[in-house]
Amino acid sequence: MRGVTYNANKSDDRAIADFTKAIEINPKDSYAYVSRGRSFEAKGDHDHATADFGKAIEINPKYANAYYFRGLSHAASKNSDGAIADFTKAIEIDPKDAYSYVSRARSFGAKGDRDRATADFSKAIEINPKYYYAYILRGDALEAKGEHDRAIGDFTKAIEIEPKNTAAYRSRASAYLLAGARSLAIADYKTILELPAVTDADRQWQGYARQRIAQLTSTPLAPAGSPTNAPR
């Protein structure tokens, strides 16, 4: 538990040392392996993380989170097939885990399989209708497929659930532009400027929103019927 506390405070090396000691005392503690794996993953050490998650699975083959976190390590290593296999196993063990569906969907998306990605995002939303990030990701997948109206619907739903989420407004603005609705896109960028800038990412997106507003208010409108010519 001291290792868990170190992990929460981002003291990864200390966490790893404590989890290692716990494993020495009880080498059959699958939770300790998963915890150490997560600390290795936080350091970007995908190989050691994957090995620890694998050891946890060897000890407890029904440990859904071990498959889930190993899937995340595979995804971080650009091993989409390995990630999909692990997320699928996690779903078999715990079919009500929306996070596993979202993670598998993102791996499908990395392989360019947008249809299966969309289906998994939809399943996550079915399990947890308030999972706003699943709506954003499904919207991104739909937009990539050229289904701008459906994408806008998903971004709007995400905004209804989490009205201060910058990513949802940014994505909806992009979809509006592709649909030829410049004024609505500008309105979303202006909303981003009104949201509280808590993190560096928030401030960066506000800077981006200012640039887009300046570009869009100084660029002639695209010809009617040519939404794909709208600036992004």
Domain spans in the chain, listed from the N-terminal domain onward: 135-232
pLDDT bin (cut points 50, 70, 90) of residue 198 is confident
Mean pLDDT confidence for 117-130: 98
Question: 121 with 141: CB under 8 angstroms?
Answer: yes
For the whole model, what pTM was predicted?
Answer: 0.87
What CATH code is assigned to 135-232?
1.25.40.10
pLDDT bin (cut points 50, 70, 90) of residue 220 is low
The pLDDT of residue 90: 98
CA dihedral 207→171→167→45, nearest 10 degrees, is -100
Mean pLDDT confidence for 83-103: 98
Mean pLDDT over each residue of the chain, to the nearest integer: 93
pLDDT surpassing 60 at residue 51: yes
Largest CA distance in the chain: 71
Rounded-to-integer distance, Cα 46 and Cα 52, Å = 10
